[in-house]
Every structure is written in structure tokens, then in C-alpha cells.
């Protein structure tokens, strides 16, 4: 399998579907917005985007299964699976806030081997394949070189359904308010990770995420020279639904802060 070729084909696909999403915003009616849960929205655009991605990805790699946000009927396969978020940042989308993305990862058994994130409004396509480096619109990218957490710009996402760990989250948030260059919440975890990969953010953390939110971004960060772990320093960020992604200079410092607040 030529992962470089496959990844670039997926990047082109994400651009095409992203253009559909951006053009469709003018046709969106309030009646089109449905609730999957509390503060969790979906539209026909999400479903159409996913259907298009599944159809075309199925042609690129027929033996692969799918783990997709909007349709649990897709079959998961033993060896290869695509992990898809057809519209990450739906809340931004339905409110007309111009920051949302498509996230696509390919997993070989438990290993992420390809990842693509297309931020639709800026037309920025971030992608990486295993051992191939990370790229933004064809140009190689790297994580930042910031050395201290207090000199870092931090990204996060707010919990919207699972508030069981909100006290620990708020303690970390308060510390960062006082001891960093600032905190940003963009509304798309995929974009947060892409921005860590290209050095715009120095670190990102969040809990309660799904695999389709972070799988592609995790690989892109790592291929850009960053470190990705769960809150306890392990590699179970998909299973545990918690993630820290940082440049290697500050990762341990930030990890110790998060571990202390969440696990001690």
C-alpha cells in the first residue's frame, strides 16, 4: 500500500466534500438542524458529507471498514478502518461561525497510519502518513519550539455532556489562565490538533472526545514532531476519550499538571 498516494487522494476528496459543505451554508434552514443530544447538533449536510466520503473512500480501499460519527450501520473490519468526522464543528456551522472541518483517519488494526484534516473556510488541508512527515497544503509543518508552559498558547474544548470531571478540568483551566499566554476554544478538536501540528498552538487538551474527533489529528501532530498521550501519559487517548497533544519541550510539564488534577 502506498500511504503517501492514498493520503493525497483522501486530501483531494476532503477538499471536494469541503467545498460542498461551504456552499451549502446558504441553503441551511433552522428546520434542518436536529438534536442528537444536549448541545449536540446534526444536519443533512453532515449526513450527505459522510455518505459522499464513505462512497469515495470505499473505492480507494475496498477492504476497509468504517467508524463514522453519523451512521453506526457502517461495518467495521478486522484490519483496516476509516475513522470519519464528516463535519467537525457542527455547532459553529449552524451558527454561521466560519471554523469547521472534515477529519479522516485510516487505522490499520490499532495503529493510525494516515490522517487528513481539511479546515473548510481557510481552505487549509493538513495531512500526514505514517513515517512520512506532516503537511499543510503541500508544505511540511512542525510543532512549535516553545520551551515553557507559561510561554504557551493553549487550546481546549469545553465539556458539553459529560460533566463528571468538570472540577478537575476547571482547576487546569484556572491554572492556565494565570500561567500561559492564553487559552483558545475554537469549536473543532480536529482543527485544534492541526494547529498544534503547525505550531499555531503549543498544546491542546480535552476530555469526552470520540475517535473521529482526534484520530487524524493525533497522527498529524506526531508526524510533525509532537507528542500525544492520554491524561495519564499513556497511549490510550482513543479508548479513554482524553487527549493531550503538545510540542516535546512542554509536554511533560503540561502532562504533570493534568495528571495531578485528574488522577491524584
pLDDT tens by residue, 100-136: 999 999 999 989 999 999 999 999 999 999 999 999 9
H helical segments located in 61-109: 90-94
- Identify whether the C-beta of residue 199 lies closer than 8 Å to the C-beta of residue 142: yes
Give the model's pLDDT for residue 32.
Answer: 62
Give 234's Cβ-side CA count (13 Å radius): 9
pLDDT band at 144 (very low <50, low <70, confident <90, very high): very high
Kindly report the number of other CB atoms within 10 A of residue 22's CB atom: 16
- pLDDT, mean of residues 226-242: 95
Neighbouring residues of 254: CB distance < 8 A, sequence distance ≥ 6: 149, 152, 203, 205, 244, 246
Q: Where are the beta strands (DSSP E) in 109-148?
A: 111-119, 124-129, 134-136, 139-140
Delineate the domains of the chain, giving CATH numbers in brackets.
3-140 (3.30.540.10), 149-263 (3.40.190.80)
Strands (E), 137-219: 139-140, 153-156, 182-184, 203-207
Average pLDDT score, the chain: 93
Question: In terms of Cα–Cα distance, which of 102, 121, 146 is closest to 10?
Answer: 102
- φ/ψ of 90, rounded to 5, equals -60, -35
In this predicted structure, what is the pLDDT of residue 75?
79
- Using one digit for the tens of pLDDT, what is the confidence trace for 46-80? 889 999 999 999 999 999 999 987 765 577 888 99
Cell numbers at 87, concatenated:
463535519
Closest CA to 193 of 108, 261, 128: 128
Beta strand pairing status for 153-156 and 203-207? parallel
Strand partners, 139: 136
Amino acid at each position: 500500500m502506498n500511504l503517501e498516494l492514498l493520503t493525497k487522494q483522501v486530501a483531494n476528496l476532503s477538499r471536494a466534500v469541503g467545498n460542498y459543505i461551504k456552499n451549502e451554508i446558504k441553503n441551511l434552514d433552522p428546520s434542518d438542524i436536529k438534536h442528537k443530544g444536549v448541545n449536540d447538533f446534526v444536519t443533512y449536510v453532515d449526513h450527505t458529507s459522510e455518505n459522499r466520503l464513505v462512497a469515495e473512500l470505499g473505492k480507494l480501499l475496498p477492504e476497509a471498514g468504517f467508524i463514522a460519527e453519523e451512521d453506526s450501520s457502517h461495518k467495521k473490519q478486522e484490519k483496516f478502518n476509516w475513522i470519519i468526522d464528516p463535519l467537525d464543528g457542527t455547532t459553529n456551522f449552524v451558527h454561521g461561525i466560519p471554523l469547521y472541518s472534515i477529519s479522516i483517519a485510516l487505522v490499520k488494526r490499532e495503529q493510525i497510519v494516515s490522517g487528513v484534516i481539511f479546515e473548510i473556510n481557510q481552505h487549509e488541508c493538513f495531512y500526514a502518513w505514517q513515517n512520512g512527515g506532516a503537511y499543510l497544503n503541500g508544505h511540511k509543518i512542525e510543532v512549535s519550539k516553545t520551551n515553557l508552559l507559561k510561554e504557551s498558547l493553549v487550546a481546549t474544548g469545553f465539556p458539553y455532556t459529560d460533566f463528571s470531571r468538570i472540577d478537575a478540568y476547571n482547576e487546569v483551566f484556572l491554572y492556565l489562565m494565570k500561567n500561559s499566554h492564553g487559552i483558545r476554544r475554537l469549536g473543532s478538536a480536529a482543527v485544534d490538533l492541526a494547529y498544534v501540528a503547525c505550531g499555531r498552538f503549543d498544546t491542546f487538551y480535552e476530555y469526552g472526545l470520540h475517535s473521529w474527533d482526534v484520530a487524524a489529528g493525533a497522527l498529524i501532530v506526531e508526524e510533525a514532531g509532537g507528542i500525544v498521550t492520554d491524561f495519564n501519559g499513556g497511549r490510550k487517548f482513543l479508548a479513554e476519550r482524553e487527549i493531550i497533544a503538545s510540542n516535546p519541550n512542554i509536554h511533560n510539564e503540561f502532562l504533570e499538571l493534568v495528571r495531578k488534577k485528574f488522577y491524584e
